[in-house]
Amino acid sequence: MRFRPFSFRRNFPLLLGVACLAAALGFPTGAKAAAGWSARFDGDVRFYQLTELGVLLVGTERSLYAVDGERGEILWRRKNVRLDETDIAPVPGTDILLLSLESDGKTRLEATDILTGGALWRSDRVRGSVMQMAVDTEAQRLAVVLVRGARGKSGDGLKKHPVTHVFNLVDGEELWKHETGEVELMPAAWGEDGAEVETNFTLDNYHPPLFADGRLYLFYEGVTSFDAPTGKSREREKFRVNEEGLALTEADPVFDERYIYTSGRGRVRAVSRSDFEVAWEAKDVGLAPEMLLAGEGATLYVRTGGQFTRLKDGETAERGPYGVSAIDTTTGKVRWRYKGADKGITNLALPDASTILIADRDDLIWIDAATGKRRAKISHRIERAAFVLVNERGAAVVGGRNEIAAFDARSGRELWRTRHTPPGRGFLRTVGAIAARAASLYFRYGGTATSVFGGVRTVSRAATALRWSGLSARNTLPGLTSLAAGAARQEITRRFTPYGIAARAREAANFRLPNMPRMPRVGVSDLPRPSVRDVDERLLDRLDPASQLARLSRFLWRRERLAALRGQWMYYYTNLKTGGGNGLAGVNLNNGRTERELRLEHPDPRFTTAEETGLLYTSQGNRLHALTLDAGGR
């Protein structure tokens, strides 16, 4: 069935009814725990992934489903397809889902409406699985990075040539493409006790592409920039981006009004945004996995050394030298270096303009941001500390896999401490993966207050920060330091541009439901009509126009809430104190109380949460379960 737009005047009574319905529903502004549900599919659940709109994508051996994450209703189903998780990729800031489909030995890339399953456009000129992407909705450009044959044994050290395709986001016209040299990929999973397993490989060990200033940046074999409309190379410096066999050992680039700052080969470079010439280069900085711009951008703080995921077995490795450097962004001169950190240095946290916080294996350390002198040092007593955060009360929170503690940011006095030890039985790797997954869920939302005060910038407004990597869906890196360092850059933005049925519904209605978010206008008449072949069980087709609008507005409301949400809870997989058994304990990072407990005896390591609806999703066999996060009570 083809979606047919309807006019505002002809359907005014229906639209008035929708407005009344929306008002009756109230579209609450506070979080409210949704009722749990369970859904059965046509085979064992191979993967599931939650999108920005609250739609769950569920893959089995035979089908791909889109499910309303709040209610458990099947929105649509595509039969007779066997997809891996690396074959699907939601385009950030839009309602588009990319599918990499194979048929008769041929591969095509299809841009699909997440809410209906209908194809918006197709391209038969691509090969491989979607690994990463960047989006510029203002210029209507989409850069997709694909890799062919990215499957093997986890210990193989697989190397491939990623290919970047740049498309017109509206109609799928390919503008240009670029093949990268051979780079090492990262396994999506590892076996028990170092055993090799057959698995997909990913580009999770690299930072995703980035659109800025009408150019596209790639970070796979150094730093390369291209003219976004034409693909003409403007800047290219080849170097080994990551230290051999480790993931994300160099920093994501940061921007201010003048320069783009990149790291690599032990150096930090400032590249002019006006002419793309190198303005200065700070040498002998060391391994630099994190950079932050503070205040008015006068100082660039660089963390050197840290904890990284080892590609061959998924274990955490430490590399130094460990410390912090401050670089003058005008001259490139290193103002000071702090070298007093020990092994296992965590991410940087800036509670105010004059203070830098780091933790190492033993201590929480306060550094004067102007001089680099250590102000204070206290023992945090956290086993294998992985991150430092600043909570909503301004306290420094140090955490690891099993324990978390908060300290007064001025006096260093311990405010609270909570420990939740993982269950001792079962496969250690599986338990470890579940524990890592539980803790990593917090970073999906950018943190309670993130790790920096308001004066710190990571990506400037002039850069288009809509980016996607499969890591955002998996979040299973054993080391949490990289996730903590990238939390402020991975949060969901408020920018949202619909291209599918949501865009047509808005144009047809020409009004906003109560609390429905404002969305930028798109040339809807120029959009291709979705093709619905190969798609079954389209829920929206069974609804009248008024009910369609009400349902669509609720998806958009949930997306708006997600963009404004900041996580409050760090989850631990443990033996529950209330009611017994194994499950998740949710610790409120502002007061240290274990306010949530959810019994979960046999979770799979892929479970995820939707904080905006208060649900946790986990699968078992051919069923997917949605459980209320406040089960067990406060």
CA angle, 130 as apex, 128 and 133 as ends, to 5°? 140
492-504 pLDDT, tens digit each: 666 788 898 888 7
Residue closest to 426 by CA, chosen among 598, 599, 606, 575:
575
Residue closest to 197 by CA, chosen among 438, 510, 430:
430
pLDDT tier, 621 (very low <50, low <70, confident <90, very high otherwise): very high
Residue closest to 464 by CA, chosen among 178, 131, 114, 91:
91
187-197 pLDDT, tens digit each: 888 876 667 88
615-620, strands of its sheet edge to edge = 37-40, 623-628, 615-620, 608-610
> Do residues 1 and 76 touch, judged by C-beta distance below 8 A?
no
pLDDT of residue 490: 53
pLDDT of residue 198: 87
Task: Tell whether domain 84-241 is in CATH 2.40.128.630.
Answer: yes
pLDDT beyond 60 at 26? no
Name the helix (H) or strand (E) containing 548: helix 545-564
More confident: 340 or 519: 340
62-102 pLDDT, tens digit each: 999 999 999 999 999 998 888 988 899 999 889 999 999 88
Least reliable range by pLDDT among 456-465, 596-605, 616-625: 456-465
CA dihedral 470, 475, 476, 479 (to 10 degrees): 120
Average pLDDT over residues 375-383: 93
pLDDT of residue 479: 66
Name the helix (H) or strand (E) containing 21: helix 12-25
More confident: 13 or 446: 446
Rounded distance, CA 411 to CA 54, Å? Answer: 42
pLDDT of residue 25: 40
Average pLDDT over residues 562-567: 72
Average pLDDT over residues 24-50: 69
Rounded distance, CA 264 to CA 282, Å? Answer: 11
Tokens standing for 298? 């006068």
Other beta carbons less than 10 A from residue 11's beta carbon: 18
Tokens standing for 28? 């609450």
Average pLDDT over residues 606-617: 86
Rounded distance, CA 133 to CA 1, Å? Answer: 31
Mapped to the 3 state alphabet, what secondary structure does 549-588 carry?
HHHHHHHHHHHHHHHHCCCCEEEEEEECCCCCCEEEEEEE
Tokens standing for 584? 């998740």
pLDDT beyond 60 at 359? yes
Average pLDDT over residues 299-327: 87
Average pLDDT over residues 417-436: 74
| Overall fold of domain 274-492 | Lipocalin (2.40.128)
Reported pTM: 0.84
pLDDT tier, 27 (very low <50, low <70, confident <90, very high otherwise): very low
Q: What is the DSSP letter of 314?
A: -
> Do residues 450 and 422 touch, judged by C-beta distance below 8 A?
no
Answer positive or negative: Cα dihedral of 179, 180, 182, 188.
negative
- Listed in order, the ranges of the chain carrying CATH 2.40.128.630 are 84-241, 274-492
pLDDT of residue 177: 94
pLDDT beyond 60 at 522? no
SS3 state at 539: helix
pLDDT beyond 80 at 20? no
- CB burial class (10 A; 0-12, 13-18, 19+) of residue 425? exposed
Beta bridge partners of 141: 136, 168
pLDDT of residue 527: 42
- For the chain, the average pLDDT equals 80
Other beta carbons less than 10 A from residue 521's beta carbon: 10
pLDDT of residue 507: 61
pLDDT of residue 524: 39
pLDDT beyond 50 at 205? yes
Other beta carbons less than 10 A from residue 379's beta carbon: 10
450-466 pLDDT, tens digit each: 555 554 554 444 444 68
pLDDT of residue 3: 34
Least reliable range by pLDDT among 23-32, 306-315, 321-330, 577-586: 23-32
SS3 state at 202: strand
More confident: 434 or 396: 396
pLDDT of residue 294: 78
pLDDT beyond 50 at 303? yes
Tokens standing for 213? 């200033």
Residue closest to 396 by CA, chosen among 353, 363, 355, 351:
351
- Residue 561 phi/psi, 5-degree rounding, is -65, -40
Average pLDDT over residues 215-241: 82
Rounded distance, CA 265 to CA 271, Å? Answer: 16
Question: Percentage of residues in the chain with pLDDT exceeding 70?
Answer: 78
CA distances from 167 to 128, 170, 211, 228, 561 (A): 16, 9, 13, 10, 30
* Amino acid letter for position 64: L
pLDDT beyond 70 at 519? no
DSSP for 244-272, please give it: TTBSS-SPPPEE-SSEEEEEETTEEEEEE
More confident: 78 or 264: 78
pLDDT of residue 433: 73
pLDDT of residue 375: 93
Least reliable range by pLDDT among 119-133, 392-406, 458-472, 513-527: 513-527
Tokens standing for 422? 């993982």
The structure tokens 């990506």 sit at 459
pLDDT tier, 609 (very low <50, low <70, confident <90, very high otherwise): confident
Question: Percentage of residues in the chain with pLDDT exceeding 90?
Answer: 33
Answer positive or negative: Cα dihedral of 13, 17, 22, 23.
positive
More confident: 323 or 465: 323
pLDDT beyond 50 at 425? yes
Residue 138's contacts (CB-CB under 8 Å, 6 or more residues apart) are 464
